[in-house]
Structure 1
């Protein structure tokens, strides 16, 4: 196993993490931005007002994108396990 191969596997793993976390992080960012704008406009500074909509939005996003995420993770893992004999020997 060469250094280049290890670097490539680590790079693919980091890209997979980035791709899988992007939808949830983007939705959380957008909901937080909208809530912040509403709070600044109405001057209501309630702490639970920021967290509850974010949590609901993140759970909904995870529920909607779960099949896609699972399909992506299983294809990556299957590809990694198929190449495992070539990696060790």
Structure 2
């Protein structure tokens, strides 16, 4: 296995990781921004107020995007398994 192949696999892994994490991260970002905006408008400074909406939002994002995430991960894993013979032969 040469250096370029290893870098290609690492780049693919980082891309799939970013794609799989994006729905939860963006959901938490949007909900956190909305709660922070609401807190600044109403001047309610409770730190724990944003935790429950974020947790519920991320859970809903997992329910909505879960099957897509699993299919992406299975596709990537199958691609890696198909590359094993060529990686071992060099």
Name the SS of the counterpart of 1:41 in structure 2.
helix
Please report how far the alpha carbon of residue 47 of structure 1 lies from its aligned counterpart in structure 2 after TM superposition.
2.0
2:29 is aligned to 29
Please report how far the alpha carbon of residue 45 of structure 1 lies from its aligned counterpart in structure 2 after TM superposition.
1.1
1:19 is aligned to 19
Number of equivalent positions: 89
TM-score, L = length of structure 2? 0.96
TM-score, L = length of structure 1? 0.97
Per-residue deviation, residues 9-37 of structure 1 (Å, max 9, x unmatched): 00000000001001110010000000000
Superposition misfits of 4+ residues, deviation over 6 angstroms: none
The within-5 A match list for 1:1-89 is 1-89=1-89
Please report how far the alpha carbon of residue 48 of structure 1 lies from its aligned counterpart in structure 2 after TM superposition.
2.1
